[in-house]
Amino acid sequence: MKLHASGSIENRLNNIAAIEPVTAASVQVGVNPLQSGGPKAQGLPPLVRLDGQPLKPAENMYPAMAYRENEHQPWPEEAIKLAAKRYPDLPKQVAASRELVPDSPDDLQDPDYYPLPDNPTFKDQFYHGVWREKKQGKL
């Protein structure tokens, strides 16, 4: 098998030039592909924490899954119905959270307050859960 040296490089360069370059305009930097457009695109109001703390990454990425009325400012019923279409267990979660003691900025002054870090360990989750149960009057 004999390759023709003349024109082979030119043909390759012409073929490469004929291919349209892929533009990065269609790719949005910093957007999670599992997230479908964020809360604004879903028509959901933003989450606002009752204790005045900033939102955790999970609350920013999946507000409908994170929404609890004892932790966040209440949403209107139509927003809850809209989110329930995607997350069918949300109405049960909201009903259960309405029975709990709401968070407040005073919680941060509690000497037993244990904040849940962004990447909690089992120990962090345990101590935060103990504080939550104490706050709810279960301990």
Q: Look at residue 1 and tell me whether its pLDDT is greater than 70.
A: no
Alpha-carbon distance 105 to 47, whole Å? 16
Nearest Cα to 97, choosing from 114, 113, 75, 117? 75
Return the pLDDT at 83: 92
Residues 6, 25: Cα–Cα separation, whole Å: 38
Q: What is the Cα Rg of the chain in Å? A: 26
The C-alpha atoms of residue 85 and residue 120 are separated, in whole angstroms, by 29
Tell me: pLDDT of 37 over 60.
Answer: no
| pTM for this prediction | 0.62
